[in-house]
Structure 1
Amino acid sequence: MTAADTPSIATDDIEDPPLRPLPERAALLLGQADAPPRLVAHLRAVHDVAAQLVDWLRRHCPELEFDAEAVLFGAATHDIGKALHPAELSGPGAQHEAAGRELLLDHGVPPSLARFAGTHASWATPGIGVEDLLVSLADKVWKNKRVPELEDLVVARLVGAGGRLPWEWFMELDEALTAIGEGADRRLAYQVSHPLTRR
């Protein structure tokens, strides 16, 4: 596999599972970072889940103000730092977070978009934006991992915007996340079908 393969993993149509292509700018950045194929596949899966969340929010809570394009770009690049710390693709570690933010900044990405590389794992930080919460949520739900504390923060944003009771939003969000989670096995299979390193 060569660097030329990265954009194809990022953007070519696939049928199983059907995943939206990454934004063009994100695909180019991943190519420039020489991102491993498995990382690109992971970002594509998380980006697709983020797009599903954005679509759901637009339908169910149009009153919630957020930057959908920022969410999608953030989901598509949140782990780009793992191109510099590839051991964190298959093991624990947080070095990729600051490294990813710096990599994006070095490539001319504005701080408002580069931040997701650092905030996707720190969703409990006071003052975090709704966009950051959505990227964090997509990064969990893509593999059907549910984090009640994170979901509660999203519900609180829905309550603040949509004027409904917390339990009503909790039930609606739970139903949406359950439906998205049903595709986790196919997304995981897609991710692991790509090698951890370039050959």
Structure 2
Amino acid sequence: MTDTALSRAMSCTVDPPLLALPDRVAELLIELGSPPRLAAHLRAVHDVAHQLVDWMEKRYAAVLFDREAVLFGAATHDIGKSVYVPELSGPGAAHEQAGQALLLGRGVSPELARFAATHASWTESVGLEDLLVSLADKIWKNKRVSDLEDLVVARLAAATGRPAWEEFIALDEVLSRIGDNADDRLAFQASFPIHD
């Protein structure tokens, strides 16, 4: 990989550390000629998703969820912004279906491609994995969304049999801890241009 803004966004050493994007995702972003800022965003959300799934596995060992699906979903959720670049700095939802179509067109399974379409809208009918990707996409910048968090709390309380208030406190603690580094992640993303 040549030393371009895109390659640096995906894997350069930063302080505090962020995990590099998975090779498969990096290859997709290169193939699409994705904006460096998009790669930086996906990397930040992917890193936060790692923190969430690690916490889930420690606290909820008996709760079944697909760790790798969450991580892939977080790393690709906004890939449609490779096509709808203005949505990197402004509102818009065209990237959601476009992202799912891009992934499906490149051989990604529907089970993994779905996160590009589901990350911005959550309901009680989506899976825990979808909720975790959505949560990572919010908390990376320390944005708290009570409706989303309430859905996660309800899922965790149902899975564990513990009271919802107990699960709320646990989730609040981890989201507060992750949110504490939001300024660093935001600065990292902002340090990359929209165009390479």
> Considering the TM-score relative to the shorter chain, is it more than 0.5?
yes
The answer as to whether partners of 1:144 and 1:181 remain within 8 angstroms in 2 is: yes
Relative to 1, partners in 2 of residues 1:47 and 1:107: Cα closer, same or farther, differing over 3 Å?
same
Question: How far apart are the structure 2 equivalents of 1:8 and 1:143?
Answer: 20
Q: Number of residue pairs matched?
A: 195
Encode CA deviations 1:64-84: one digit per residue, 9 max, x unaligned.
110000000000000000000
Query: Is residue 2:137 matched to residue 1:130?
Result: no
The answer as to whether partners of 1:144 and 1:184 remain within 8 angstroms in 2 is: yes
Alignment of 1:120-199 (within 5 A): 120-124=119-123, 126-198=124-196
- Aligned-residue offset at 1:52: 0.3
Query: Is residue 2:32 matched to residue 1:39?
Result: no
Ranges in structure 1 where 5+ consecutive residues have no aligned partner: none
Relative to 1, partners in 2 of residues 1:145 and 1:178: Cα closer, same or farther, differing over 3 Å?
same
The answer as to whether partners of 1:3 and 1:34 remain within 8 angstroms in 2 is: no
Encode CA deviations 1:147-166: one digit per residue, 9 max, x unaligned.
01100110111112222110
- Aligned-residue offset at 1:178: 0.3
Structure 1 match to 2:18:
19
The answer as to whether partners of 1:7 and 1:28 remain within 8 angstroms in 2 is: no
Percentage identity across paired residues of the two chains: 61
The answer as to whether partners of 1:17 and 1:190 remain within 8 angstroms in 2 is: no
Task: Name which of structure 1's ranges 23-32 and 101-110 shifts more when overlaid on structure 2.
Answer: 23-32
Instruction: State the secondary structure of the residue aligned to 2:39.
Output: helix
- Aligned-residue offset at 1:146: 0.2
The answer as to whether partners of 1:10 and 1:44 remain within 8 angstroms in 2 is: yes
Query: Is residue 2:97 matched to residue 1:98?
Result: yes
Question: How far apart are the structure 2 equivalents of 1:193 and 1:5?
Answer: 10
Structure 2 match to 1:84:
83
Question: How far apart are the structure 2 equivalents of 1:5 and 1:91?
Answer: 21
- Aligned-residue offset at 1:111: 0.4
The one-letter code matched in structure 1 to 2:16 is: P
TM value normalised by structure 1:
0.94
Structure 1 match to 2:74:
75
Question: How far apart are the structure 1 equivalents of 2:166 and 2:74?
Answer: 27
- Aligned-residue offset at 1:191: 0.2
The one-letter code matched in structure 1 to 2:189 is: Q
- Aligned-residue offset at 1:33: 1.0
The one-letter code matched in structure 2 to 1:11 is: S
The answer as to whether partners of 2:5 and 2:192 remain within 8 angstroms in 1 is: no
Task: Name which of structure 1's ranges 46-55 and 155-164 shifts more when overlaid on structure 2.
Answer: 155-164
The one-letter code matched in structure 1 to 2:109 is: P
